[in-house]
Amino acid sequence: MRGFARLLDGLVYTRSRNAKLRLIGAYLRATPDPDRGWALAALTGADDIPAIKPAVVRALIEERVDPVLFRMSRDYVGDTAETVALLWPGRAVADDPAALGLAAVVARLSTLGRSEAPAALAWLLDRMTPEERYALLKLATGGLRAGVSARLAKTAFAQAFALDVDAVEEVWHALAPPYAALFAWAEGRGEQPIAADMPVFRPFMLAHPLGEDQAAMDAYAAEWKWDGIRVQLVRVGGQVRLYSRGGDDITAAFPEVASAFDRDGVVDGELLVKGDAQGSAAHGGATASFNALQQRLGRKAVSARMLADYPAFVRLYDILFDGAETAARSPGPRAAPGSNASSPGSTRRASTCRCWSRRTAFQRLRHCAPAPATRRWRG
């Protein structure tokens, strides 16, 4: 746990993106399996210790220090994990180092029920330094808040082992912590993992600055900018996933969108909530503001009330895979004006297809006639 605590401490006090990449990369190269795999899982939000909740942590500390003192300290510090790490009355006790290793801690806490977890957590906190306690509490409650996104952590991994980050993204969701096969591939000890029959994420083609290049604007077309988030819907072998532009799995927050996608394939679009703040019937349907969409983002589960008040749908831009067959053509001209295609070489028109409530939407997308070649930009 000590090495992970040092990494987390360094990330919290480092603002530079490149410095964060170097810190993570150095840790992943120097740390053995499976500790580094669990650290990578924590940085990407893939770890899960369901029995440890903030309420458990608060109850433990209030048994050991005056509750008023804790609450006043928490208000001053602004972070429960940091407050508890500093106030915890125990001193680091010499014990078996292996029992305090990152992998051992995760293995122990993730298998316990809610009745057993508090005692196990207290046992660990009694044997750790304040820095280690802070790292443990952040890990256990699932909120590192170290200024590191899942994409940044994957980029650091790829750079540390001289891999293409897009290749890492394409196999990421087919693997599980502590990622032994991923590290074996990275270090040349194993083959590249294969994501067959898994609904994996495929990195988006995003806009980027032209730099000193000159562009003839008559070769481009502008289109409506919808105020939602870019997503990718993937269905393989009956399994459906909804991914954000950064590759985060957000399926649980939008179950109605996932359940309506009933044909194997991969599509690209904009996730929106129905409403009247932007667009109109002429644009393929009116939508609510981004604030409405934010009510649904970041949730592990949604209530029936939330589904009714903020109904979500996807306005399609492009079809990337039809079943197992790629729908992208060789690099070249992009989609025509008025379309929403975004994959290199695609000319399939999708501007009138905006939700997956019926199978006909997908069939309409597949059978639209190719449009004249031109180029377009998307932010």
Task: Using alpha carbons, list the distances in angstroms from residue 106 to 124, 156, 300, 319.
Answer: 11, 22, 21, 40
Strand segments, DSSP code E, in the chain are 220-221, 229-236, 239-244, 265-278, 287, 312-322, 325-326, 375-376
What residues contact 155, with CB distance under 8 A and at least 6 apart?
21, 165
CA dist., res. 326 & res. 240, Å (int): 18
Which residues are registered as beta bridge partners of 273? 312
Which residues are registered as beta bridge partners of 315? 270
Q: Of 53, 225, 274, 300, which is the active-site residue?
A: 225
CA dist., res. 306 & res. 312, Å (int): 10
241 in Cβ contact with 201 (< 8 Å): yes
Neighbours of 229 (CB within 10 A): 16
Burial level of 38, CB count in 10 A (0-12/13-18/19+)? buried
Residue 258, both tokens:
């996932």
Q: Which of 65, 62, 85, 179 is nearest to 138 (CA)?
A: 85
Residue 225 appears among annotated catalytic residues: yes
What residues are annotated to the active site?
Answer: 225
